[in-house]
Protein backbone atom coordinates (compact mmCIF):
# COMPACT_ATOMS: atom_id res chain seq x y z
CA UNK A 1 0.00 0.00 0.00
CA UNK A 2 1.38 3.39 -0.97
CA UNK A 3 1.19 5.88 1.83
CA UNK A 4 0.76 9.44 0.70
CA UNK A 5 2.22 12.01 3.04
CA UNK A 6 0.51 15.33 2.81
CA UNK A 7 2.72 18.20 3.94
CA UNK A 8 -0.21 20.38 4.94
CA UNK A 9 1.57 22.56 7.45
CA UNK A 10 4.28 23.46 5.04
CA UNK A 11 1.78 24.64 2.49
CA UNK A 12 -0.13 27.07 4.71
CA UNK A 13 1.75 27.64 7.93
CA UNK A 14 0.28 31.07 8.58
CA UNK A 15 -3.35 30.15 8.59
CA UNK A 16 -3.89 27.87 11.57
CA UNK A 17 -7.69 28.08 11.44
CA UNK A 18 -7.91 27.08 7.84
CA UNK A 19 -5.31 24.40 8.10
CA UNK A 20 -7.57 22.37 10.32
CA UNK A 21 -10.07 22.16 7.53
CA UNK A 22 -7.36 21.31 5.09
CA UNK A 23 -6.17 18.50 7.30
CA UNK A 24 -9.67 17.14 7.56
CA UNK A 25 -10.12 17.39 3.84
CA UNK A 26 -6.82 15.75 3.04
CA UNK A 27 -7.48 12.94 5.49
CA UNK A 28 -10.73 12.36 3.75
CA UNK A 29 -9.10 12.39 0.34
CA UNK A 30 -6.48 10.02 1.62
CA UNK A 31 -9.15 7.62 2.75
CA UNK A 32 -10.93 7.96 -0.56
CA UNK A 33 -7.70 7.32 -2.41
CA UNK A 34 -7.16 4.18 -0.41
CA UNK A 35 -10.67 3.07 -1.11
CA UNK A 36 -10.20 3.68 -4.81
CA UNK A 37 -6.90 1.84 -4.61
CA UNK A 38 -8.56 -1.16 -3.01
CA UNK A 39 -11.26 -1.07 -5.64
CA UNK A 40 -8.83 -1.08 -8.53
CA UNK A 41 -6.77 -3.79 -6.88
CA UNK A 42 -9.89 -5.94 -6.54
CA UNK A 43 -10.90 -5.24 -10.11
CA UNK A 44 -7.43 -6.14 -11.34
CA UNK A 45 -7.48 -9.33 -9.31
CA UNK A 46 -10.84 -10.22 -10.71
CA UNK A 47 -9.67 -9.84 -14.28
CA UNK A 48 -6.63 -11.98 -13.57
CA UNK A 49 -8.98 -14.59 -12.14
CA UNK A 50 -11.24 -14.30 -15.16
CA UNK A 51 -8.28 -14.65 -17.47
CA UNK A 52 -6.92 -17.80 -15.90
CA UNK A 53 -10.39 -19.32 -15.58
CA UNK A 54 -10.96 -18.70 -19.28
CA UNK A 55 -7.63 -20.24 -20.14
CA UNK A 56 -8.45 -23.32 -18.09
CA UNK A 57 -11.89 -23.54 -19.66
CA UNK A 58 -10.25 -24.16 -23.01
CA UNK A 59 -7.79 -26.74 -21.75
CA UNK A 60 -8.19 -30.23 -23.01
CA UNK A 61 -8.98 -32.09 -19.81
CA UNK A 62 -12.47 -31.12 -18.82
CA UNK A 63 -13.82 -32.32 -15.48
CA UNK A 64 -17.07 -33.56 -16.90
CA UNK A 65 -18.22 -35.50 -13.85
CA UNK A 66 -17.78 -32.56 -11.55
CA UNK A 67 -19.56 -30.34 -14.08
CA UNK A 68 -22.59 -32.66 -14.08
CA UNK A 69 -22.56 -32.82 -10.31
CA UNK A 70 -22.60 -29.03 -10.13
CA UNK A 71 -25.44 -28.80 -12.65
CA UNK A 72 -27.44 -31.24 -10.62
CA UNK A 73 -26.75 -29.37 -7.41
CA UNK A 74 -27.72 -26.01 -8.85
CA UNK A 75 -31.01 -27.42 -10.07
CA UNK A 76 -31.63 -29.38 -6.95
CA UNK A 77 -30.94 -26.50 -4.61
CA UNK A 78 -33.04 -23.88 -6.34
CA UNK A 79 -35.93 -25.78 -7.90
CA UNK A 80 -38.44 -25.58 -5.02
CA UNK A 81 -37.71 -21.92 -4.41
CA UNK A 82 -38.01 -21.02 -8.08
CA UNK A 83 -41.21 -23.01 -8.50
CA UNK A 84 -42.92 -21.14 -5.70
CA UNK A 85 -41.68 -17.71 -6.74
CA UNK A 86 -42.51 -18.35 -10.42
CA UNK A 87 -46.07 -19.32 -9.68
CA UNK A 88 -46.67 -16.48 -7.28
CA UNK A 89 -45.05 -13.98 -9.65
CA UNK A 90 -47.56 -14.80 -12.38
CA UNK A 91 -50.46 -14.90 -10.01
CA UNK A 92 -49.70 -11.56 -8.40
CA UNK A 93 -48.98 -9.78 -11.67
CA UNK A 94 -52.33 -10.90 -13.01
CA UNK A 95 -54.31 -9.94 -9.95
CA UNK A 96 -52.63 -6.53 -9.83
CA UNK A 97 -52.98 -5.66 -13.50
CA UNK A 98 -56.55 -6.80 -13.89
CA UNK A 99 -58.32 -3.74 -12.38
CA UNK A 100 -56.23 -1.32 -14.43
CA UNK A 101 -56.98 -3.13 -17.66
CA UNK A 102 -60.63 -3.49 -16.69
CA UNK A 103 -60.85 0.31 -16.38
CA UNK A 104 -59.80 0.59 -20.02
CA UNK A 105 -61.99 -2.31 -21.01
CA UNK A 106 -58.96 -4.23 -22.14
CA UNK A 107 -59.13 -7.38 -20.01
CA UNK A 108 -58.49 -9.48 -23.11
CA UNK A 109 -55.01 -7.93 -23.17
CA UNK A 110 -54.25 -9.39 -19.76
CA UNK A 111 -52.64 -12.71 -20.75
CA UNK A 112 -50.43 -11.08 -23.34
CA UNK A 113 -49.30 -8.30 -21.06
CA UNK A 114 -48.48 -10.54 -18.15
CA UNK A 115 -46.69 -13.08 -20.35
CA UNK A 116 -44.68 -10.32 -21.93
CA UNK A 117 -43.51 -8.87 -18.67
CA UNK A 118 -42.71 -12.32 -17.27
CA UNK A 119 -40.71 -13.45 -20.27
CA UNK A 120 -38.92 -10.19 -20.88
CA UNK A 121 -38.14 -9.06 -17.39
CA UNK A 122 -39.64 -10.61 -14.30
CA UNK A 123 -38.70 -14.23 -15.00
CA UNK A 124 -35.02 -13.65 -15.81
CA UNK A 125 -34.35 -11.07 -13.14
CA UNK A 126 -36.18 -12.69 -10.25
CA UNK A 127 -34.73 -16.11 -11.02
CA UNK A 128 -31.25 -14.67 -11.35
CA UNK A 129 -31.58 -12.83 -8.06
CA UNK A 130 -32.74 -15.98 -6.31
CA UNK A 131 -29.83 -17.89 -7.81
CA UNK A 132 -27.41 -15.14 -6.82
CA UNK A 133 -28.60 -15.58 -3.25
CA UNK A 134 -28.70 -19.34 -3.21
CA UNK A 135 -25.93 -20.41 -5.58
CA UNK A 136 -23.60 -17.43 -5.36
CA UNK A 137 -23.46 -17.62 -1.60
CA UNK A 138 -23.12 -21.40 -1.71
CA UNK A 139 -20.13 -21.20 -4.02
CA UNK A 140 -18.56 -18.41 -2.00
CA UNK A 141 -18.92 -20.35 1.23
CA UNK A 142 -17.84 -23.70 -0.19
CA UNK A 143 -14.74 -22.50 -1.97
CA UNK A 144 -13.98 -20.11 0.87
CA UNK A 145 -13.95 -22.90 3.42
CA UNK A 146 -11.94 -25.08 1.07
CA UNK A 147 -9.42 -22.29 0.82
CA UNK A 148 -9.26 -21.75 4.57
CA UNK A 149 -8.82 -25.43 5.39
CA UNK A 150 -6.11 -25.85 2.73
CA UNK A 151 -8.23 -28.15 0.57
CA UNK A 152 -7.49 -26.04 -2.49
CA UNK A 153 -3.78 -26.33 -1.73
CA UNK A 154 -4.19 -30.07 -1.29
CA UNK A 155 -5.82 -30.28 -4.69
CA UNK A 156 -2.98 -28.36 -6.22
CA UNK A 157 -0.30 -30.63 -4.79
CA UNK A 158 -2.10 -33.71 -6.01
CA UNK A 159 -1.44 -32.29 -9.48
CA UNK A 160 -5.01 -31.20 -10.11
CA UNK A 161 -5.61 -27.69 -11.22
CA UNK A 162 -8.18 -26.31 -8.76
CA UNK A 163 -9.08 -23.59 -11.23
CA UNK A 164 -10.13 -26.26 -13.67
CA UNK A 165 -11.74 -28.60 -11.19
CA UNK A 166 -13.53 -26.11 -8.97
CA UNK A 167 -13.96 -22.85 -10.85
CA UNK A 168 -14.47 -23.76 -14.50
CA UNK A 169 -17.00 -26.49 -13.73
CA UNK A 170 -19.04 -24.26 -11.45
CA UNK A 171 -19.07 -21.27 -13.75
CA UNK A 172 -20.08 -23.35 -16.75
CA UNK A 173 -22.71 -25.17 -14.72
CA UNK A 174 -24.23 -21.86 -13.63
CA UNK A 175 -24.08 -20.51 -17.18
CA UNK A 176 -25.96 -23.52 -18.47
CA UNK A 177 -28.41 -24.04 -15.63
CA UNK A 178 -29.65 -20.53 -15.00
CA UNK A 179 -31.17 -20.08 -18.48
CA UNK A 180 -32.92 -23.42 -18.02
CA UNK A 181 -34.20 -22.37 -14.61
CA UNK A 182 -35.40 -19.08 -16.07
CA UNK A 183 -37.38 -20.87 -18.77
CA UNK A 184 -38.88 -23.07 -16.10
CA UNK A 185 -39.78 -20.03 -13.99
CA UNK A 186 -41.35 -18.36 -17.06
CA UNK A 187 -43.49 -21.40 -17.69
CA UNK A 188 -44.63 -21.56 -14.10
CA UNK A 189 -45.26 -17.82 -14.10
CA UNK A 190 -47.61 -18.16 -17.03
CA UNK A 191 -49.37 -21.04 -15.28
CA UNK A 192 -49.75 -18.84 -12.23
CA UNK A 193 -51.10 -16.08 -14.39
CA UNK A 194 -53.68 -18.44 -15.84
CA UNK A 195 -54.68 -19.42 -12.32
CA UNK A 196 -54.99 -15.72 -11.46
CA UNK A 197 -57.14 -15.06 -14.52
CA UNK A 198 -59.45 -17.81 -13.36
CA UNK A 199 -60.15 -16.21 -10.00
CA UNK A 200 -62.56 -13.76 -11.61
CA UNK A 201 -64.17 -15.23 -14.67
CA UNK A 202 -62.96 -18.36 -16.38
CA UNK A 203 -60.58 -18.83 -19.26
CA UNK A 204 -59.56 -22.17 -20.70
CA UNK A 205 -55.84 -22.84 -20.70
CA UNK A 206 -55.58 -23.07 -24.48
CA UNK A 207 -57.41 -19.79 -24.96
CA UNK A 208 -55.20 -18.15 -22.36
CA UNK A 209 -52.02 -19.37 -24.01
CA UNK A 210 -53.13 -18.38 -27.48
CA UNK A 211 -54.08 -14.93 -26.18
CA UNK A 212 -50.70 -14.66 -24.52
CA UNK A 213 -48.65 -15.68 -27.50
CA UNK A 214 -50.53 -13.39 -29.85
CA UNK A 215 -48.59 -10.62 -28.16
CA UNK A 216 -45.30 -12.36 -27.38
CA UNK A 217 -43.14 -13.18 -30.37
CA UNK A 218 -39.73 -14.69 -30.88
CA UNK A 219 -37.91 -11.40 -30.68
CA UNK A 220 -39.25 -10.85 -27.17
CA UNK A 221 -37.93 -14.21 -26.29
CA UNK A 222 -34.45 -14.24 -27.74
CA UNK A 223 -32.84 -11.23 -25.99
CA UNK A 224 -34.31 -12.40 -22.69
CA UNK A 225 -32.73 -15.82 -23.11
CA UNK A 226 -29.40 -14.39 -24.17
CA UNK A 227 -29.13 -12.18 -21.14
CA UNK A 228 -29.78 -15.10 -18.80
CA UNK A 229 -26.54 -16.72 -19.99
CA UNK A 230 -24.74 -13.60 -18.86
CA UNK A 231 -26.58 -13.70 -15.55
CA UNK A 232 -25.48 -17.29 -15.05
CA UNK A 233 -21.86 -16.64 -15.93
CA UNK A 234 -21.78 -13.62 -13.64
CA UNK A 235 -23.24 -15.47 -10.68
CA UNK A 236 -20.81 -18.35 -11.14
CA UNK A 237 -17.80 -16.11 -11.61
CA UNK A 238 -18.52 -13.83 -8.66
CA UNK A 239 -19.33 -16.74 -6.36
CA UNK A 240 -16.19 -18.67 -7.20
CA UNK A 241 -14.00 -15.57 -7.24
CA UNK A 242 -15.10 -14.50 -3.78
CA UNK A 243 -14.60 -18.00 -2.42
CA UNK A 244 -11.31 -18.59 -4.16
CA UNK A 245 -9.81 -15.36 -2.89
CA UNK A 246 -11.12 -15.69 0.67
CA UNK A 247 -8.51 -14.76 3.26
CA UNK A 248 -7.45 -16.81 6.23
CA UNK A 249 -9.63 -17.69 9.17
CA UNK A 250 -13.24 -18.77 9.35
CA UNK A 251 -14.75 -15.29 9.43
CA UNK A 252 -13.52 -14.71 5.89
CA UNK A 253 -15.74 -17.59 4.72
CA UNK A 254 -18.81 -15.71 5.89
CA UNK A 255 -17.53 -12.54 4.32
CA UNK A 256 -16.88 -14.32 1.02
CA UNK A 257 -20.42 -15.72 0.93
CA UNK A 258 -21.93 -12.42 1.87
CA UNK A 259 -20.06 -10.28 -0.62
CA UNK A 260 -20.68 -12.86 -3.34
CA UNK A 261 -24.42 -12.38 -2.93
CA UNK A 262 -24.20 -8.59 -2.83
CA UNK A 263 -21.91 -8.30 -5.84
CA UNK A 264 -23.73 -10.91 -7.91
CA UNK A 265 -27.16 -9.36 -7.28
CA UNK A 266 -25.90 -5.90 -8.10
CA UNK A 267 -24.25 -7.08 -11.29
CA UNK A 268 -27.38 -8.95 -12.35
CA UNK A 269 -29.35 -5.70 -12.14
CA UNK A 270 -26.65 -3.75 -13.97
CA UNK A 271 -26.36 -6.34 -16.72
CA UNK A 272 -30.12 -6.28 -17.05
CA UNK A 273 -30.01 -2.53 -17.58
CA UNK A 274 -27.31 -2.86 -20.21
CA UNK A 275 -29.16 -5.70 -21.93
CA UNK A 276 -32.34 -3.65 -22.11
CA UNK A 277 -30.47 -0.71 -23.61
CA UNK A 278 -28.74 -2.89 -26.16
CA UNK A 279 -31.96 -4.64 -27.17
CA UNK A 280 -33.68 -1.31 -27.46
CA UNK A 281 -30.99 -0.03 -29.78
CA UNK A 282 -30.91 -3.11 -31.95
CA UNK A 283 -34.62 -3.73 -32.38
**Binding interface with another protein (CB under 8 A):** 142, 145-146, 149-151, 153-161
As measured in angstroms, the least distance from the Cβ of 244 to another protein is 15
As measured in angstroms, the least distance from the Cβ of 59 to another protein is 10
As measured in angstroms, the least distance from the Cβ of 242 to another protein is 18
As measured in angstroms, the least distance from the Cβ of 51 to another protein is 14
As measured in angstroms, the least distance from the Cβ of 2 to another protein is 15
Nearer to another protein, 121 or 156 (CB): 156
Nearer to another protein, 66 or 121 (CB): 66
Q: Cβ(140)–Cβ(259) under 8 Å?
A: yes
Nearer to another protein, 83 or 245 (CB): 245
Nearer to another protein, 108 or 149 (CB): 149
Amino acid sequence: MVKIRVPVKKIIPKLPDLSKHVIKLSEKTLKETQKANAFFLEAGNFFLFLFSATREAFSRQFEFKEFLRQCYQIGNKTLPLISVTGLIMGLVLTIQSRPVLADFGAVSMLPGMVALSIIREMGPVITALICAGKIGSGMGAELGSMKVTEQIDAMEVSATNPMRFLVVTRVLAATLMIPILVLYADALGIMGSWAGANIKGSVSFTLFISQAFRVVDFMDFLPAVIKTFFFGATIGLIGTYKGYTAGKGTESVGRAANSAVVMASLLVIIIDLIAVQVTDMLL
